[in-house]
Amino acid sequence: MHSPSNQYVTSRGMGMYEPIHQISMWGDFKGNGFPNTPASVIIEVDTKQDSQSEETSQGTLGPTSNNFDQEATKPVDKVLRRLAQNREAARKSRLRKKAYVQQLETSRLKLLQLEQELERARQQGAYLGGGLDASHVGYCGSLNSGIATFEMEYERWVEVQTRQNFELRSALNTHLADIELRMLVDSVMNHYFDLFRMKANAAKADVFYLMSGMWKTSAERFFMWIGGFRPSELLKVLVQHLDLLDQQLLEVCNLKQSCQQAEDALSQGMDKLQQILSETVASGKLCEGMYNPREGNALENLEALVCFVTQADHLRQETLQQMSRILTIRQAAQGLLALGEYCHRLRALTSLWATRPREPT
C-alpha cells in the first residue's frame, strides 16, 4: 500500500497536482476549524469559492450580467435604427424631388417641340398657299430621307442638350469634383461635335435646306451665319458669364480676332459663290416653264457650297476646343451652360413672339 505522501490528485481549475494528505488536512480543517476563526467566515468563503467555480465552469457571466448589457445597449440600437431610417427617408425624398424636376424639364421640352412643329407647319402652309410646289418646299423631309433623318436626330439632340444644361447647372451648384465635372464637360463638347457631323450629312442631302435654317426656329434663323452661329458671337456670350484672368482675357481676345478674320474670308467666299450661282442660273434658257441651266457648272458650285458649310462648322468646332483649352474645367462648364441657355432662350423667343398678346382687329 502506498503511503499518503506519494498519492496525488488533480486540483479543480488549478491545472496542477496536490498531495492527498493536504486535502485530508483541509477536510480536518473544515471539520474542526481554528478556534479563533468564526464558522460564518468559513462558510462565506466556501460559498464564494463554490459560486466562482460554478461561473468558471459554465464560461459565462450569468444571466444578471447579460440582462444589464441588453438594457444598456437597447437605447443605442434604437437611436441608430432611427438615424438610419431618417437617412433613408431623406435619400428617397431627394430622389423624388430630382425625378419631379426632370419630369418638369421633359414636359417643358415637349411643349417647346410642339410649338416648333406648329411654327414649321404654319410656314410650310404659307409656302404651299403661295403656289410653290411641295417638292421644292419639302423641308419636312417627306421627299428626302437624309433630311428626314437629320430632323429626327436634331430633335433628339435638342432633348439631350436640355438635359445636359440641367446637369451642368446641378453640378455647378453642388460643387461637383473636378474629375467628374471634366467628364460632364467632355460629354457636352462631344454633343456639339455630333451636331456638326449631322449637319455635314444633311448638307450632302440638301445643302439649301441646311442653309435656309428651316430646322431651326425663326429667331435662331435671324442670327444664322452659314448654317449656324458665328464663332465670334459665341465668344461674346461666353465672356459675359465668366470671370477671366488677365492672361485668359488676352488669349480670348486673340482667339476672337482670329475667328473674325476667318469669318470674313468665308463670308467673302460665300458672296462670290452666290454671284457665280446666280450667273449660272441666269445663263440658262426657259424650257417648258423650267430653267435649264448649265448643269455641270451648277453642280460644281453646289458642291463648293457644301464645302463652305463644312468649313464654317469646322471653325465653330475649333473655337469651342480652343476656348476649352484657355479656361479651367469649372469655367468651361460655366461657359457651356451659358451657351446652352443662350440657345434655349433663342428657341423660346420664337414661341414668346408667336403667343404675344395682340390687339383685337
Residues 6+ apart with CB under 8 A from 233: 223
Phi, psi of 175, rounded to the nearest 5 degrees:
55, 55
3-class DSSP assignment, residue 142: coil
3-class DSSP assignment, residue 36: coil
Q: Tell me the C-alpha distance between 167 and 341, whole Å.
A: 12
- How far from each other are the two terminal CA atoms of the chain, in whole angstroms? 140
Taking residue 55's Cβ as centre, other Cβ atoms within 10 Å add up to 13
Taking residue 242's Cβ as centre, other Cβ atoms within 10 Å add up to 20
Q: Which of 49-63, 82-96, 190-204 has the highest mean pLDDT?
A: 190-204
Minimal CA–CA distance to 111: which of 287, 352, 358, 299?
A: 352
Residues 6+ apart with CB under 8 A from 322: 255
- For residue 325, CA distances in Å to 178, 182, 330, 332, 335 come to 15, 12, 12, 9, 12
pLDDT at residue 74 tops 70: no
Residue 116's pLDDT is: 65
Residue 245's pLDDT is: 93
Minimal CA–CA distance to 112: which of 148, 146, 161, 168?
A: 161
Helix axes of 295-326 and 329-354: crossing angle, nearest 10 degrees: 130
pLDDT at residue 150 tops 80: yes
Cell of 22: 493536504
pLDDT band at 75 (very low <50, low <70, confident <90, very high): confident
3-class DSSP assignment, residue 12: coil
Q: What is the pTM of this model?
A: 0.59
pLDDT digits (tens, 9 = 90+) for 196-248: 999 999 999 999 999 998 889 888 999 999 999 999 988 988 888 899 999 99
pLDDT at residue 48 tops 80: no
Cell of 232: 465670334
Q: Who has greater pLDDT, 96 or 19?
A: 96
Sketch the domain layout of the chain as residue ranges. 80-128, 145-285+294-355
Q: Which of 33-42, 142-151, 303-312 has the highest mean pLDDT?
A: 303-312
pLDDT digits (tens, 9 = 90+) for 253-264: 999 999 999 999
Residue 73's pLDDT is: 58
pLDDT band at 352 (very low <50, low <70, confident <90, very high): confident
Average pLDDT, the chain: 75
Strand partners, 7: none
pLDDT digits (tens, 9 = 90+) for 32-45: 444 444 444 443 44
Residue 353 · residue 267 · CB < 8 Å: no
Minimal CA–CA distance to 279: which of 291, 264, 268, 267?
A: 291
pLDDT digits (tens, 9 = 90+) for 195-205: 999 999 999 99
Residue 123's pLDDT is: 56
Amino acid at 173: N
